[in-house]
C-alpha cells in the first residue's frame, strides 16, 4: 500500500501577507518589552501594539476562507479540524513547555504566587495548557488571572480555535450577503464597546470571566469574519511597493500614542474602531493584491512569515522573566532596554530554532500520519 495526498495540494501563499504577519509579530515582542516601562494603558511606548492580535484575527479569517472555502465538497468537518490542529497545536505545546521551563525563574514580588506553587501544580497547568482548555482564575499560578498562565498569548489561540469551529459549523455556509450582515453587526458591536465601553480600547480577553470573555469575543468576531468576507469579495488593491506601504501603515497604527485621557475614553475607542474596521481590511486588500518580484524581498517575506507564529507563541516566557527582573530590581530604562534588545534577538533565535527543529518536522510527520490516504 502507498500513501497519497487526501486532497488537492496546498495553495500558494500570499507572500506579502506572510511578511506582514511577521512584521506585526515582531512589533508584538517590542511592545511587550517596552510595556515593562509603560505603567498604565494611557502611557505605553508602543501604545497600540496590542492591536496586532486583531490584525492576526483578520488575517486568519482571510487565509482560512482562501484555503478552505472551495474544498468542502471534498473535506469533512473533522478533516478540516485535523488540518487546523496540525497547523497550530504543535507550537501551542512548545510554547507551553518553554513557559514551564522558565516559570520558577520568575518568582518574586512581581509574581508572588510562583514561589508558592508546587511543582505538581505547575505540571498540571502545563498538561492542561497542551489541550488549550482555559483555566479558571482559581487555578492561577502567577497572579495575572490568565487562562493560560504559563503562556499568556495562548488566549488568542483559544479564540482562534473558536473562530475556526464557528466557520466550519455555520459561517462557511453563508452567502456573501448574509455574511456581510453578520460582519456589519459585529462591527457595530465592536464600535459600541470601544466608544461607549468602560476602557476605550480592546485590551483584554485572557481571563475566564464575563467581562474578559466579552472583550475576547468582541475582538474576535468582526476581524475574523471580515477577513473571510474580504476574501470572498475578491476586491484586492493592486499597487506598487505593497509590502513597504503596508508595513509602514502597520507601524504607524501601532506606534501612534493613546488618544484622549481617562475623561475622554471614546476618543481612543473611535481611533481603534477606525483601525480595526477600516484600516486593517485595507492593508490586507493591498497586501493580497500586491506582488513581490525581487529574490531578497521574497526571502524576507518568507522568513517573517515562517517565524511569525513561532515567535508570537513562544516569546512571552522571556517577557515574564524580563518583567520580573526589571520590576523586582528597579532596573533603569537605559540598561533595561539593552537587555530588552538581547531578549528580542533571543526570541527570534528561539522561534527559528523551534520552527526548523520541531514545528516543521512534527507537522510533516502529522501530515503524513493523518492527512494521507492509503492508495
pLDDT digit string, tens, across residues 231-249: 999 999 999 999 999 999 9
- Does the pLDDT value for residue 53 go beyond 70? yes
Model pLDDT, residue 10? 62
Give the chain's mean pLDDT: 95
Bridge pairing between strands 3-5 and 372-374? antiparallel
Model pLDDT, residue 7? 46
Q: Report in angstroms the alpha-carbon separations of 52 from 23, 160, 373.
A: 10, 14, 38
**Contacts for 350 with CB less than 8 Å, ≥ 6 apart:** 98, 310, 311, 314, 315, 318
What would the mean pLDDT of 34-57 be, rounded to a whole number? 92
Model pLDDT, residue 8? 47
Please calculate the CA angle 92-98-103 and round it to the nearest 5 degrees.
120
Backbone angles phi, psi at 207, to 5 degrees: -120, 160
Residues 371 and 6: beta-carbon distance below 8 Å = yes
How many CB atoms sit inside 10 A of residue 120's CB?
A: 8
The answer to whether the predicted template modeling score (pTM) of the entire model surpasses 0.85 is: yes
Q: Residue 333's Cα: distance from chain center in Å?
A: 27
- What one-character DSSP code corresponds to residue 293? -
Give the Cα separation of 336 and 209 in Å (integer).
34
Q: Residue 358's Cα: distance from chain center in Å?
A: 20
Label residue 4 by pLDDT band (50, 70, 90): very low
pLDDT digit string, tens, across residues 297-346: 999 999 999 999 999 999 999 999 999 999 999 999 999 999 999 999 99
- Does the pLDDT value for residue 375 go beyond 80? no
Model pLDDT, residue 76? 94
pLDDT digit string, tens, across residues 77-102: 999 999 999 999 999 999 999 999 99
Q: If you search the block for the grid coordinates 468576531, which residue do you land on?
A: 221
By percentage, how much of the chain surpasses pLDDT 90? 92
* Alpha-helix residue ranges (DSSP H) falling in the chain: 15-35, 52-68, 77-102, 119-131, 154-169, 176-196, 210-233, 242-255, 265-274, 280-289, 295-314, 316-329, 333-354, 360-370
Please calculate the CA angle 124-128-133 and round it to the nearest 5 degrees.
150
Give the Cα separation of 202 and 141 in Å (integer).
25
pLDDT digit string, tens, across residues 327-341: 999 999 999 999 999
Model pLDDT, residue 43? 85
Give the Cα separation of 142 and 158 in Å (integer).
19
Give the Cα separation of 67 and 82 in Å (integer).
14
Model pLDDT, residue 236? 95
Label residue 39 by pLDDT band (50, 70, 90): confident
Nearest by Cα to 41 from 204, 238, 197, 193:
204
pLDDT digit string, tens, across residues 122-174: 999 999 999 999 999 999 999 999 999 999 999 999 999 999 999 999 999 99
Model pLDDT, residue 373? 63
Q: Report in angstroms the alpha-carbon separations of 210 from 60, 136, 196, 213, 214.
A: 25, 12, 18, 5, 6
* Alpha-helix residue ranges (DSSP H) falling in 237-293: 242-255, 265-274, 280-289
Give the Cα separation of 363 and 240 in Å (integer).
35
Nearest 10 degrees: CA dihedral of 124, 129, 134, 137?
50
pLDDT digit string, tens, across residues 7-28: 445 667 899 999 999 999 999 9
pLDDT digit string, tens, across residues 246-289: 999 999 999 999 999 999 999 999 999 999 999 999 999 999 99
- Does the pLDDT value for residue 2 go beyond 50? no
Label residue 347 by pLDDT band (50, 70, 90): very high
Amino acid at each position: 500500500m502507498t500513501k497519497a495526498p487526501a486532497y488537492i495540494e496546498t495553495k500558494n501563499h500570499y507572500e506579502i501577507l506572510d511578511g506582514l504577519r511577521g512584521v506585526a509579530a515582531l512589533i508584538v515582542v517590542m511592545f511587550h518589552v517596552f510595556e515593562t516601562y509603560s505603567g498604565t494603558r494611557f502611557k505605553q511606548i508602543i501604545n497600540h501594539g496590542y492591536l496586532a492580535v486583531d490584525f492576526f484575527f483578520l488575517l486568519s479569517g482571510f487565509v482560512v476562507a482562501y484555503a478552505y472555502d472551495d474544498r468542502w465538497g471534498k473535506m469533512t468537518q473533522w478533516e478540516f479540524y485535523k488540518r487546523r490542529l496540525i497547523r497550530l497545536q504543535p507550537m501551542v505545546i512548545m510554547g507551553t513547555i518553554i513557559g514551564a521551563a522558565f516559570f520558577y525563574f520568575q518568582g518574586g514580588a512581581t509574581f508572588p504566587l510562583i514561589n508558592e506553587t508546587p511543582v505538581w501544580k505547575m505540571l498540571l497547568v502545563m498538561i492542561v495548557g497542551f489541550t488549550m482548555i482555559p483555566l479558571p482564575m482559581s487555578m492561577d499560578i502567577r497572579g495575572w488571572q490568565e487562562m493560560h498562565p504559563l503562556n499568556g498569548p495562548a488566549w488568542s489561540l483559544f479564540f482562534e480555535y473558536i473562530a475556526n469551529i464557528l466557520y466550519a459549523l455555520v459561517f462557511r455556509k453563508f452567502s456573501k450577503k448574509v455574511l456581510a450582515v453578520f460582519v456589519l453587526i459585529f462591527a457595530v458591536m465592536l464600535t459600541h464597546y470601544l466608544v461607549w465601553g468602560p476602557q476605550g480600547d480592546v485590551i483584554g480577553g485572557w481571563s475566564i470571566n464575563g467581562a474578559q470573555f466579552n472583550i475576547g469575543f468582541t475582538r474576535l468576531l468582526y476581524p475574523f469574519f471580515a477577513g473571510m468576507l474580504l476574501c470572498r469579495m475578491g476586491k484586492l488593491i493592486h499597487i506598487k511597493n505593497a509590502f513597504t506601504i503596508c508595513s509602514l501603515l502597520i507601524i504607524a497604527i501601532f506606534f501612534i500614542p493613546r488618544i484622549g485621557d481617562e475623561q475622554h475614553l471614546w476618543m481612543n475607542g473611535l481611533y481603534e474602531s477606525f483601525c480595526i474596521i477600516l484600516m486593517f481590511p485595507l492593508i490586507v486588500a493591498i497586501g493580497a493584491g500586491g506582488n513581490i518580484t525581487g529574490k531578497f524581498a521574497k526571502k524576507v517575506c518568507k522568513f517573517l512569515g515562517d517565524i511569525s507564529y513561532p515567535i508570537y507563541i513562544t516569546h512571552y516566557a522571556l517577557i515574564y522573566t524580563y518583567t520580573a527582573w526589571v520590576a523586582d530590581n528597579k532596573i533603569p530604562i537605559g540598561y533595561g532596554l539593552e537587555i530588552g534588545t538581547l531578549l528580542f534577538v533571543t526570541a527570534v533565535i528561539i522561534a527559528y530554532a523551534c520552527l526548523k527543529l520541531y514545528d516543521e518536522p512534527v507537522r510533516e510527520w502529522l501530515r503524513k500520519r493523518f492527512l494521507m490516504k492509503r492508495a
